[in-house]
Amino acid sequence: MAIYRVFSDADGESHIEEMTLEEHPELAAMLNVSEVRVQEFDGSRQRDYHPLPERRLIIHMSGEVKIGASDGSEIVLRAGDIRLMDDVSGKGHKHDDLSPSAAVYVLLTD
């Protein structure tokens, strides 16, 4: 299991960083949650760079998804991986399904 954060800097470029719970204890107790849902995907999603409308914590349950940041970095997420999506402005990230997948989406209000 790995935890990653996708975020935008002051210039609007997106970046990916690996995180630990020790560095971000707020991830252990999510208090400002507006919605939790489980979604399945058929493996056909391919999206160019885009920011998200709200912060999200995404917990991957199955399949593989590749996320790319505008700085050129990429990660492949698999079952058990978690990503905190903080890129709600700027260029955003790109998304490619590598297989059918399922994930838990936790929409954050903070």
Region 32-49 average pLDDT: 94
Q: Does the pLDDT of residue 68 top 90, yes or no?
A: yes
Query: Is 87:14 a contact under the CB 8 Å cutoff?
Result: yes
- Which residues lie below 8 Å from residue 62, measured CB to CB, with a gap of 6+? 79, 100, 101, 102
Region 55-68 average pLDDT: 96
Region 2-31 average pLDDT: 86
pLDDT at 105: 96
DSSP string, 4-58: EEEEE-TTS-EEEEEE-TTT-GGGGS---EEEEEEEEE-S--EEEEE--SS-EEE
| Prediction pTM value | 0.89
pLDDT at 56: 93
Question: How many of the other CB atoms lie within 10 Å of CB of 84?
Answer: 21
Q: How far apart are CA 59 and CA 80, in angstroms?
A: 7
pLDDT at 1: 78
Q: How far apart are CA 95 and CA 68, in angstroms?
A: 7
Region 5-20 average pLDDT: 94
Q: Does the pLDDT of residue 72 top 90, yes or no?
A: yes
Region 63-72 average pLDDT: 97
Q: Give percent of the chain with pLDDT exceeding 90.
A: 80
User: What's the Cα-to-Cα distance from 104 to each of 27, 72, 88, rounded to whole Å?
Assistant: 15, 26, 19
